Structure 1
């Protein structure tokens, strides 16, 4: 069966064919081409290196590790194998071993640019940004104008909010390789983060011209269009997030066995509205549920987390809340519709058409009774939220959370405004205890240990005069309850707040305080402090 392995020319031919297949992303076929020599243990270091790369590409990291270790055993000074072994060990979470591999590679070949880049990626993951930057720059000294190296450098700068430098790196990468889709996409991201929306849109569209099935670009372009108020285009494009035609789709459709509602008549029908993303989206878009019922539905159901059930049961027109806790069956309906598809399905595709009647959520009477009289009496009462919900298992979302969140001590200038009773609305294992870092005399009243669901928080907000919050679900809850709400927005603010105004069509009594420089909260807090002093004075003035 393996007789041709005795023929050196045949072995070379198989290797050459495997290289070609690998270059065309046909990794399984390339590996099959190499398999005879792998099984017979006649493979040289190059063959083993290629086999390992194929395994890594088809998500077989442990096999990749085995082959790279075999390659090193055959040829101990094989620099590429040492560096590549570090890549797979990093992917497996064995970071110290990965670092040792990169050091081994550089000890063999001190000017190995790829090893420097791999080391830079490892340093970036560890948060050692100065060392990561040095590694990337050294790699570029060795291989100037390497597009991949420049993209890595741009990603590092982007994560540090060094946006002009990230932009320059991506543009250099595009000059090196005009068809580099990652560089075009990332350039669009940093241009949007700098509020250069027309240029960002052009970059996104150029990316799609090069790779029409690039899922993330479609979603980012949809968010950009929504951000600039082009809702009809934005909502239509946003529908592609669940389109089964996308090979790289990352968002699963609702796990039910009935069809998605795409605008068919609902007279006499049953419809289930399915949540997506975070609690904030559910709180923002549940305003559309009464509009659905008005279309003649016989039964309107809404699926939600246990934390929202009691609150959503108060929404006009909702016949049933189905709790998504893994214990309740999903009954048959005629249709299902995703929460964030409702604006497009219901035709509210201009800013003026956004349903803005508030309150559209109400505190259940039992929760009002439960919380009545539990807040300090006297003074104006202001609720505070300073941080979002970190999600370490979702790096992109966690990165956004870090940009929108503050430490409780950042609110000290507000807490010093006299004549106000501050009430914490902050939840979170790492963020709620930050109250203890504040001077005892300035600590807000903290009722949140007794809060178990959003109806509890709503009952507290009902008793407040104002809510001040970073961009979290509490902003949407307070807005839905028609409570005056001040929202602190990061520089690259969420699409839903638009980009050029300090009010919002979503919540008539909300006010936005935006960063004017990336990462700079001090100036924002100072503006909020000034506004809070003015508000406190005006609220006390006789009518």
Structure 2
């Protein structure tokens, strides 16, 4: 290989390792000027494009590289990564298998193959692949961390911590392992150790899938400085449900003597107008007033040294608009039966949404056909549910009239009970103090903890948990039985 090309490729790899994509591109452009058809340059251009999520471009570069070097297991592994990112898991598996056939001792492709099997919920098979990678390279921190994720998804968060710690011992700055360890600790209710570690999310590459990292020229407040006479900006970073859950801390911040500015998404602006503790509400995208400190909402539990026993769990901290409640009451008409608000899925792009969302054709198995009036609280219906929904006549739908969460809140006020999968709606319902039944997967989000039917975050919530991975049948049967019992009662 041309020495200049070799030098530029090494500099490219260094830049990619620290996620300096612009610098990596400069090195690769220099290499292309020296040798325009170098397969190794093509491969790294593909890696660069993958990091930028320019997948058609990445596929083109990898295919060009493989045209020159068809038996390059590394290029095949990189190609498989594109299909993994595109969630074409069967295609990714096929390409990884070809890479392994060429080089059975290539530890990275075994770990990546494990990642695909993990996403396909084939956890036991994933573990075999991670173990293969670890046997080939015992110092492979990523494989140890990925194994920890799999153990956690098998319902063993305490055991998963062993593997995260192993990854961190090998690579102390393994931020993915640190963040995932925090999720395991929080799921176990160990907020003392989990909340400080949860701050490692900002250094995790995968945080971009669930959170928006913001940069301000003011210090982040985490409970150390006095706020008396100061102005602080509180802002959301993750989903709408997270915003609803953690905006309760605004009152505690104000009680420290601070003027609280709350930046809110447009869809929550009206429903949070009278949130206790907030001095000024700013819609996201509008110009922010001056402030002395800032804090993302999900860092407030740490700032207040929260533990499970000290969660600020007022029965209701969000109120509906009485005028809108009257309007929705008129739309629904005279009440002749108990009304149940329903949510079975979301339109979220959240990576693991399939673990918490149900098909409507399955969800209705929880609903007695007589005795209740069912109201859909979802604004949108997934394509996979539309045909069944058109044929199923037992659920009223008002999604096109739900302009924002103030309408959803008013509609919630008009029902007696909300039954929902883990989306933003049950957070709103529970924050209003409405009786809410939440159905959660075998390994739920950390906020729902383990092995309990209640939630320390919401006094009005009752949890219905899967007793086995991917098995909703038992959950739905328990909901149906409790609904029948409630009707009889």
**TM class by shorter-chain length?**
0.7 to 0.9
SS in 1 for 2:425: helix
Indicate if the aligned counterparts of 1:215 and 1:248 stay in contact, CA closer than 8 A: no
Q: Which residue of 2 aligns with 1:72?
A: none
Question: Of residues 393, 407, 410 in structure 1, which corresponds to 2:359?
Answer: 407
Aligned match of 2:376: 424
Match of 1:303, SS?
strand
Q: Deviations over 1:168-197 (max 9, x none)?
A: 110111111112122111111111101122
Provide the rounded CA distance (Å) in 2 between the counterparts of 1:208 and 1:460: 48
User: Does 2:146 align with 1:186?
Assistant: yes
Alignment counterpart, residue 330 of structure 2, candidates 364, 367, 373: 373
Instruction: Tell me the CA shift for residue 475 of structure 1.
Output: 1.2
**Shift in alpha-carbon separation, 1:127–1:49, aligned structure 2, 3 A:** closer
Higher relative contact order (CA 8 A, sep 6+): 2
Q: Distance in 2 between matches of 1:440 and 1:249?
A: 40
1:438 to 383, 389, 401: 389
Instruction: Name the structure 1 match of 2:439.
Output: 488
Are positions 1:228 and 2:228 aligned together?
Answer: no
Residue aligning to 1:388: 346
Q: Which residue of 1 aligns with 2:400?
A: 449
Residue of structure 2 in register with 1:282 after alignment: 243
SS of the aligned residue for 2:56 comes to coil
Q: 1:522 aligns with which of 440, 463, 473?
A: 473
Residue in structure 2 matched with residue 500 of structure 1 by the alignment: 451
**Which residue in the other structure is 2:293 paired with?**
335
Aligned mates of 1:341, 1:367 — CA distance in 2: 33
| Mean CA deviation greater in 477-486 or 507-516 | 507-516
CA offsets, 1:460-504, max 9 Å, x none? 111211111010001111111111111111223101101222221
1:268 lines up with 2:219 in the alignment: no
SS at match of 1:445: strand
Distance 2:319 2:240 in 1: 16
SS of corresponding position for 1:422: strand
Alignment of 1:289-328 (within 5 A): 289-297=250-258, 299-324=259-284, 326=285, 328=286
The corresponding residue for 1:360 is 317
**Residue 455 of structure 2: SS of its match in structure 1?**
coil
1:49 and 2:1 aligned: no
Partners of 2:45 and 2:58 within 8 A in 1: no
Query: What does residue 533 of structure 1 align with?
Result: 484
**Which residue is 1:155 aligned to?**
115
1:312 partner SS: coil
Q: How far, CA to CA, are the matches of 1:422 and 1:438 in structure 2?
A: 13
CA pair 24-461 structure 1, distance change in 2 beyond 3 A: closer
Q: Tell me the distance in 2 between the aligned counterparts of 1:402 and 1:248.
A: 18
Number of aligned positions between the proteins: 480
Deviates more, 1:172-181 or 1:14-23: 14-23
Q: Name the SS of the counterpart of 1:361 in structure 2.
A: coil
TM-score under structure 2 length normalisation: 0.87
Distance (whole Å) between structure 1 residues aligned to residue 273 and residue 202 of structure 2 = 27
Please identify, of 134-143 and 462-471, the stretch whose mean Cα deviation from structure 2 is larger. 134-143
The CA deviation at 1:430 is: 3.1
- 1:70 corresponds to which residue? none
Structure 2 spans left out of the alignment, 5+ residues: 18-22
Q: Which runs of 5+ in 1 are unaligned?
A: 1-10, 62-86, 392-396, 539-543
Distance 1:455 1:309, change over 3 A: same
RMSD: 3.4
| Pair 1:462-2:403 in alignment | no
Structure 1: distance between partners of 2:29 and 2:227: 58
Of residues 197, 204, 222, the one that matches 1:237 is 197
Distance change in 2, residues 1:341/1:456 (3 Å): same
TM-score by length of 1: 0.79
Cα drift, residue 536 of structure 1:
1.9
Are the counterparts in 1 of residues 418 and 434 from structure 2 also a CA contact under 8 Å? yes
